[in-house]
Amino acid sequence: DVKVTQSSRYLVKRTGEKVFLECVQDMDHENMFWYRQDPGLGLRLIYFSYDVKMKEKGDIPEGYSVSREKKERFSLILESASTNQTSMYLCASRGAVTGELFFGEGSRLTVL
């Protein structure tokens, strides 16, 4: 089974802090994604990566950056956290270009 592991299930940060969310997948997938999930808005794509050191902006990249130094690891960075970034963050990976996404359990971030 594909396993996508997100390092932190729950985080509480203060406004202005730098936040790192880590995601690791164990299936040698090329594609990795970061979404945020908010009630009534579904999942919105923040960034995705189709290869090591390659990244593309999703629909809501503002306030976020990403890093993909190794194939199995995709990090989401909030340079200066703000209260409107309080959300559930979901990491996913995908092997084939049109295949299904495999999701991690999510990281619930609260910014005070």
Partner 1 sequence: AQSVSQHNHHVILSEAASLELGCNYSYGGTVNLFWYVQYPGQHLQLLLKYFSGDPLVKGIKGFEAEFIKSKFSFNLRKPSVQWSDTAEYFCAVNVSGGYNKLIFGAGTRLAVHP
Residues that bind partner 1 (CB under 8 A): 4, 31, 33, 35, 40-45, 48, 50, 56, 58, 90, 92, 97-98, 100-101, 103-106
Distance CA 27, CA 41 (A): 29
Give the residue with the Cβ less far from partner 1, 27 or 112.
Answer: 27
Beta strands in the chain (DSSP E): 4-6, 10-13, 19-21, 23-25, 31-38, 42-51, 54-57, 65-70, 73-78, 87-94, 102-103, 107-111
Q: How far is the CB of 99 from partner 1 (least distance, A)?
A: 9
Give the residue with the Cβ less far from partner 1, 17 or 45.
Answer: 45
Residue 76 identity (one-letter amino acid): L
Give the residue with the Cβ less far from partner 1, 33 or 74.
Answer: 33
Q: How far is the CB of 100 from partner 1 (least distance, A)?
A: 5
